[in-house]
Structure 1
Amino acid sequence: MFTRAAAIAGILVLVSAGAAAATMTQEHPLIIGGTLTSTSEAPWAIALTNTTSATATNRWCGGALVRADKIITAAHCMTKPIGTYTAVQGRADLTDRRIGRTSRITGSWIHPGYSRTNNRNDFAILTLAKPMTGVPVIRLETNPKADRKGVVPTVYGWGDTAETGPDDTLQKLAAPDLGDAVCLANKEYVGYGYAASANVCAGYLDGTGDSCQGDSGGPLVLNGRLLATVSWGEGCAEPNYPGVYAEIAPNAKLLQAEISRTTL
């Protein structure tokens, strides 16, 4: 997977086709092995499009609405001029432009500790030109103990499906939290920067399901809270290579301060 954005050399981040590569192999993937879901189930799910995308729908990354005028996504998604991005809400099928809300992006904040070398602190907060008032927002997870082996969060995204479902359509996948020990036992993942203090290791070791290109920055949700966002991994749904997610709780205070920084 590496950054699920444009591939670099092995590990990909999860963005869309056409996104710039990071220092790891980065491709923006879609959800593989998931099921279709609705925007009424996940109203805070955001599709981040970009005019430079190679896809017909301009699909680029995912995100989550955390305030009427703020969304959180992956830092590695923000490789293009701010004016080329649009946030889309309420549109499960990105080809149907008759429905949903859209807003341009007026500003972006990248986590000051973000590293393109190891993809830690892979967070960006974007400010919307047009607040999405009346849309439910998702709260940040603040408890580090929420990331624990055995819980089963759900990841949402419009990314690649490897023909397990329609592309450019909102899907979800129950992605079991495997515990940090699984990813720390993978020498490649440790070499590419996996850290128990910064990441969530989730998915299926048999390769039956995963987030993929185009899903970068999208929400991993547990008990109604944003546990993490899609960050990177080796390929998509590769056996013994689960997804790596940027964990919210260790950064919740800083992220919340940025989300609250301006008034509507």
Structure 2
Amino acid sequence: MKGAEARTSTAWCSGTLIAPDKFLTAAHCIAKDPRPDQYRIFLHSAGFISVKTIDWQKDLYRFPKADIAVLTLAAPVLRITLESILGEERPIHGTLGTIVGFGRTGGFNEDYGVKREGFIETAPCRETQSDIPLVCWNFSAEVQNGTIRSNTCNADSGGPLFVYEVTGGRQLRKIAGVTSGGSADDCLLGDQSYDVDVVEYAKWISETAQLVGEPAPAGPGPALVTERDVVGQTSTLTQARPEISYPFQVREGIGTLLVAMNGDDNGRGRNNFDLYVIQVSEGTDRVVCSEEGSGQFGFCRLDDPAPRNHFCEITVKTRRSSSRNPLNASNNAPRRRFRKFRR
């Protein structure tokens, strides 16, 4: 996220947590403005986190070469499963992978800020990039061999390309690429996208992030498991339907309740999402947490919440009252202007 304040910051790039206080992203996301206090990390299970320092290979970086950066966070993130980088044996052409990011969906869509993932198959890079360590794929068909193919676009920069390897009878996913750019401004069919080859920079990443052995989550408790600990909802808000409520029950023994919100925006502050967590008790409603003001992200943390019914309410206002675009409540960035950034 880009901005000096958490609530007014906007979606800027994507990235991956590789250590409790280390976040892997693309260098072009921060190179023009490397001030740490201008960036925030937003995680659904941790909220807003300030950035303390930024490292990238300043002398080597020439987009897309060495388009990789490590952000050190102001505080470690607790109980979050960390991702491993691929250290050797870069993916061969034809390798299937998963891409993840908070960018827009391409074409004329301006829907930055919602987390999406999809599937790709690696392919040879173009001859003009043959001397740059990249992992490439062609977005040549929306469905191939029965699988829906995907692509990256603006604000997906820095996000991961995962591949899978079998070690000791277990299938492990590793970060093989960091989203960098593409050949087409609209990110649609005919685009060739490219990621930084993580294997090429694995030594620098490991030394900078002080990675030792398999990553382990920080904190006294076990890592959060999405299937067990997280309930998510996605809805579409419109001018005719500017708010929505999600009821839920807090059970006995719940020590901490975390509620995260992120909605899409056009990169220029069109949408203003507000989040309210409301406790229902004896027929009365009481707001126990609110995130108001301009912004597309919100986060509430409640320690020792009362074991009773609650609901969270999300409202949205748009600055363009004539807009026909739906407003998704569910991970802004400038348009890709030159050199085909995916920022």
TM-score category of the 2 structures, normalised to the smaller one: 0.5 to 0.7
Q: Distance in 2 between the 1:154 and 1:261 partners?
A: 23
Match for residue 229 of structure 1?
178
Q: Distance in 1 between the 2:189 and 2:111 partners?
A: 22
Match for residue 301 of structure 2?
none
Aligned-partner SS, 1:256? helix
Measured against aligned partners, the alpha-carbon deviations of 1:127-168 in whole angstroms (never above 9, x if no partner) come to 000210211111110123x32111111110110113789542
Residues 1:160 and 2:104 are matched in the alignment: yes
Higher strand share: 2
* C-alpha RMSD over aligned residues: 2.8
Match for residue 20 of structure 1?
none
Q: Distance in 2 between the 1:249 and 1:65 partners?
A: 17
Q: Which segment is superposed worse, 198-207 or 102-111? A: 198-207
Larger Rg: 2
Match for residue 103 of structure 1?
49
CA contact (8 A) 1:141 1:252 kept: yes
Aligned-partner SS, 2:77? coil
What is the CA-CA distance between 1:112 and the residue it aligns to? 4.1
One-letter code aligned to 1:60: W
Aligned-partner SS, 2:122? coil
What is the CA-CA distance between 1:236 and the residue it aligns to? 3.7
Match of 1:251 among 201, 226, 233: 201
Name the CA shift for 1:74/1:253 in 2 (closer, same or farther; >3 Å): same
Match of 1:179 among 86, 111, 124: 124
Residues 1:123 and 2:63 are matched in the alignment: no
Measured against aligned partners, the alpha-carbon deviations of 1:240-260 in whole angstroms (never above 9, x if no partner) come to 331110010011011101110
Name the CA shift for 1:164/1:203 in 2 (closer, same or farther; >3 Å): farther
Q: Distance in 2 between the 1:218 and 1:51 partners?
A: 19
CA contact (8 A) 1:113 1:120 kept: no
- Report the TM-score, using the length of structure 2 for normalisation: 0.51
Q: Distance in 2 between the 1:254 and 1:261 partners?
A: 10
CA contact (8 A) 1:199 1:247 kept: yes
Match for residue 233 of structure 2?
none
Name the CA shift for 1:175/1:164 in 2 (closer, same or farther; >3 Å): farther
CA contact (8 A) 1:113 1:121 kept: no
Residues 1:214 and 2:149 are matched in the alignment: no
Match for residue 29 of structure 2?
77
The alignment of Structure 1 onto Structure 2 pairs a total of residues equal to 194
Higher RCO structure (Cα 8 Å, ≥6 apart): 1
Match of 1:148 among 82, 92, 96: 92
Q: Distance in 1 between the 2:130 and 2:202 partners?
A: 17
Q: Distance in 2 between the 1:142 and 1:261 partners?
A: 11
Residues 1:60 and 2:12 are matched in the alignment: yes
Q: Distance in 1 between the 2:27 and 2:130 partners?
A: 17
CA contact (8 A) 1:114 1:122 kept: no
Name the CA shift for 1:154/1:247 in 2 (closer, same or farther; >3 Å): same
One-letter code aligned to 1:242: Q
CA contact (8 A) 1:114 1:123 kept: no
One-letter code aligned to 1:129: A
One-letter code aligned to 2:134: N
One-letter code aligned to 1:209: S
What is the CA-CA distance between 1:195 and the residue it aligns to? 3.3
Q: Which segment is superposed worse, 103-112 or 238-247? A: 238-247
CA contact (8 A) 1:154 1:222 kept: yes
Gaps of 5+ in 2: 143-148, 165-172, 213-217, 219-343
Q: Distance in 1 between the 2:176 and 2:190 partners?
A: 22
CA contact (8 A) 2:139 2:192 kept: yes
One-letter code aligned to 1:68: P
Match of 1:136 among 81, 90, 114: 81
Measured against aligned partners, the alpha-carbon deviations of 1:67-125 in whole angstroms (never above 9, x if no partner) come to 0000111000002222110011126xxxxxxxx42210000101245433x42010111
Match for residue 140 of structure 2?
205
CA contact (8 A) 1:57 1:168 kept: no
